[in-house]
Every structure is written in C-alpha cells, then in structure tokens.
Amino acid sequence: MARKDGRKADEMREVKMEVGVLRNADGSARVQIGKTIAVASVFGPRELHPKHLQDNEKAVLNCIYMMAPFSTTERVRPGPSRRSHEISLVTKSALEKVVNLKDHPKAVIDVYILIEQANAGTRTAGINAASLALADAGIQMSDLVTSIASGKVDGEYVIDLSGDEEKITGCDLPVAYLPRSKEITLLQMDGDLSKADVKGVLKMCIRGCEKLHKIQVDALKKKWEAETSK
Amino acid sequence: MAGINIQKKYISALAKDGKRIDGRKPDEFREISIETGVIPNAEGSARVRIGETEVLMGVKIDIGTPFPDTPDEGVLMSGAELHPMASRRFETGPPDAESIELARVVDRGIREAHAIDTKKLCITPGEKIWMVMIDAHVMNHQGNLIDACGLAAMAALSTARMPKLDEEGKIVIGEKSDEPLPITTKVFPVTVARINGRLMLDPTLEEEDTMDVRLTISTKDDGNITAMQKGLTGALTMKEIEEAIDMSIKKGKELRKLL
C-alpha cells in the first residue's frame, strides 16, 4: 500500500537532528520529523528553588512540554493545558530512568521542550530532542532515549503518522525505547486494536527507534567533532 | 520515614515470591462494591469501592453547542478531583498532573472505544448537542484510582438517564426522562503494577509506593484494546507488556460481569 505522501509502511518522514542549537542553554537540540519541529533545552544540574522541593537523595528532573501559539493551524492558547500537563508528565517518565540523578542531590535538571511547528508526533519528537539536549549538556546517561509513534491505517501498520494520517486513523501508539537495554519507557495508546495488532505496531515502533538512535548518535558526533576541531 | 521504608522492603521481598502484604494473589482485586443512582440530582452516578479506595462519580448532561469540526456530534468531558479530604497527600488548588492524567486516561478508553455513540447525541446539527460531563470525586485514596474511576465512570454512564425536554426543546430542571445514554460497549481500564519484577493487579497505596512502573490498559467487550498508558519512571520489556495485556483482558472480562 502506498501512503498518501508516497512513503512505505515502515518509512519515517524525513528526520533532521541538530545538537547545540541554543547558546544560553547547557544543552540543546532541534529535531525535525516531517513538518513537526521540536526544540529542547536543558539547564543544570543546578540548585533547586524553592528549597522544600529539593530531594536529598537525587536531582529532580523537571520536564516542561509546550506548544508555540503559532505551531498549529488554529492558534494554541499560550500557557499550560490539560494535554500539555499530561505530556510533560509522560516525557519525564520516559527520560528519568537513563539520567544519572543520584550524583546531584538537591539539584534540578530542567528540560524545556518547545514545539515550534506541529504536524503529528510532537511528544515523540520532543523526547528525541530532550534526550539529545541532555547528552549535549554533558549529563551522565545510561542510554539515549528514542521515540516514535506507529498506528494502523487502512488495515496496515504504519510508522510515524503524519497529520493527515492521524486524522483518518484515530489510532496512535507512541513509544519511547532504550536501544541498549531494549526496554520501553513511554507507552501510550488510543484507538481500537486487538492484542496481536498492539504487538505488531509496537514492534514497528521499536524498529523505527533503532533507526532514530543512529541519527541521534550522528548528530551528537557532528557537534562534538566540530567543537574539538576548533 | 524509616517505617515506610521498612514496609516498602517487606512488600518488595514478598512480591519476589508472588505474595502480597494482604494475602491476595498477584491478579486478585480487593473486594469491589458498586452502588449506582446515589446522587438523584445527577443524571447518572456511582459510588465505587475497591477495598478502602472510594470514588464518587457523577454524570451531568446538558445542552451545548458542538465543536466546529464535529457539528453533528455530542461532547464528552471528564474531570477528576483529588481533594485533601481523600488523603493527606493531596493539596487544594487547580488540578495537578496526577489528577489530569487520571481523568484523561479514563476518558481516553471510553472515547476511543466510541462507548458513547456521540452521533446520537446531536439535537440540531451545527447548533445543539448533548454534552456529557463525567466528574470523579475521590473520597478515600487507598490505591488504584484509575481502575476505580474507570469502573465508576462506566457504572454511572450505563445507568444515566437523559434530561427531560419541554415542548420548546429546553431542559425541564430537576426531571429526567426514561431514555438511557447511547452506550455501545463497556470499557474498563485495568492497571498492572510492577513490584520487584512481578506484575500485580489492583495495587494498594503502599504497593503503589513500592512499584516502579505501572501500565494501564483499557479493553472493551470484544477484548480489543482502546487505550494504554504507562506511568512512573521504570522501563518495561516487550514480554512484560504482553503479559500485562493478557492480565488486563482477563480481568476486564471479570469486571464486565459486575455491571
């Protein structure tokens, strides 16, 4: 089956990743997947204020997902929404396992994700960017976090739904995957799938994440090679 | 603090052998009680207890205007209130991430299953539709709020009655018709908690403090899955996900018999 935009079922939209895009941040990255663009910036570890929020045993990972008001066809009301609250929460859950928080008690690591333009798959693009930004900030990590969504359109499993596809299918399964430990740290789903379908779609996500991992590594190498040759 | 840590270690050690602090099996729920029609002013309502966890769910139905992109469909809205009356852990103020997630996960299962036929909730296309608002009030938090709220939502929705309309098409305040909501299937979220590597259902508050990851799976009557949500910072393997799905489908079948 050919998809509307000519892609194969297991073909992602064009992926671009760039590390070190914002000067003031300790780490930053921009990830573009098709028409979706996410920028992540990381600050820290730094002292957490107010102090009562501090954790004496480990750093706090603070994740904020936000959409620019101009990022979609209809203006998004600025400020947090119910949707953005939930995405911030699942993003934190997706990232926290790989970050070395133990060595920085009482500190905070702030991860800010801004969706500059939205065309489906914003949370997964944001997680890819956040993972790169954390690595760029020099924060110890046990793994990179890769993320992609898949779904079922016209009876076939397809990866990385575009905005148009998302409208017709109503079935979406975003996953975040740790390529080294082969574990899953983000798993959500909405739609109507049998158990076998869920398994098939999940496997497709994992294969996609493995491809994304290579692109992430290349993006990181590219930045640090440029940095060291200066 | 020390007491809590000792209890966590105990729960964790027990879990290794598939045992639990209250003697339940890994896939066993606490005692469930469901009362419906408990709030006469609400169009539908249910009080659900799972062990000591207690949730009050109310359905309000009102006339509203449709969203521009779905002019011929009714609207479903969900909320959840985690008030300090239910637990010392909750604080007053606007909904936090926990209560938003709770409401959205319950909502997603129902919405994606098209459990309410929203097309049948259209009165005049583009102008008037029925709005169905489901609100959960947690009365006592002793763990597993998602499953309790999901069960309560389904109990309240399936026993709700539409408001009565007068000749001009306005709602007669305080009166209900005999007509139920257009329910097409029942949906139940079942949450699987992982404690020390073992998957368990219906975690108590103490078990929730000990678990490192949870996965909520909503299933409908035909066994299909309509929503999933992983929570907390732990990571899951593919094998664990499959096992969790099996546990949820099986428990979903049992819960179906209660309504």
Model pLDDT, residue A77? 84
Chain B residues in contact with A199 by the CB 8 A cut-off are 242
Identify the three-state secondary structure at position A197.
Answer: helix
Instruction: Give the minimum alpha-carbon distance from A86 to chain B in angstroms, rounded to a whole number.
Output: 6
Residues 6+ apart with CB under 8 A from A176: A94, A95, A124, A127, A145, A146, A147, A184, A185, A186, A187, A209
Within a domain: residue B168? yes
Within a domain: residue B6? no
For B120-164, the DSSP string reads: GGEEETTTEEEEEEEEEEEEE-SS-HHHHHHHHHHHHHHH-EEEE
Within a domain: residue B221? yes
Instruction: Give the minimum alpha-carbon distance from A144 to chain B in angstroms, rounded to a whole number.
Output: 13
Within a domain: residue B8? no
Best residue in B238, B248, B249, B250 to probe A by mutation, most A CBs within 10 Å? B238
Q: Is the pLDDT of residue A28 over 90?
A: yes
State the pTM of this model: 0.84
Within a domain: residue B181? yes
Chain A residues in contact with B245 by the CB 8 A cut-off are 195, 198
Query: Residue B51: which domain range?
Result: 15-256
Q: How far is A152 from B242, CA to CA, in rounded Å?
A: 19
CA distances from B181 to A182, B74, B118, B120 (A): 44, 11, 10, 9
- SS3 per-residue string spanning B62-80: EEECCCCCCCCCCEEEEEE
Binned at pLDDT 50, 70 and 90, residue B2 comes out as low
Nearest to A191 among B226, B237, B241 (CB): B226
Within a domain: residue B171? yes
Q: DSSP secondary-structure letter at B90?
A: -
Query: Is B101 in contact with A97 (Cβ distance < 8 A)?
Result: no
In the numeric block, which tokens belong to residue B208?
């929730």
Model pLDDT, residue A1? 64
Chain A residues in contact with B241 by the CB 8 A cut-off are 184, 187, 202
Residue B208, domain CATH: 3.30.230.70
Q: What is the CATH number of domain A15-228?
A: 3.30.230.70
Q: How far is A78 from A75, CA to CA, in rounded Å?
A: 9
Model pLDDT, residue A173? 96
Complex ipTM: 0.74
For B235, nearest residue in chain A (alpha carbons): A185
Nearest to A89 among B97, B236, B245 (CB): B97
Nearest 5°: CA angle at A67, between B83 and A90?
Answer: 50
Q: How far is A169 from B181, CA to CA, in rounded Å?
A: 26
Query: Is A185 in contact with B235 (Cβ distance < 8 A)?
Result: yes
What is the number of domains present in chain B? 1
pLDDT in tens, A108-124: 999 999 998 899 999 99
In the numeric block, which tokens belong to residue A90?
């699942």
Mean pLDDT computed over every residue of chain B? 92
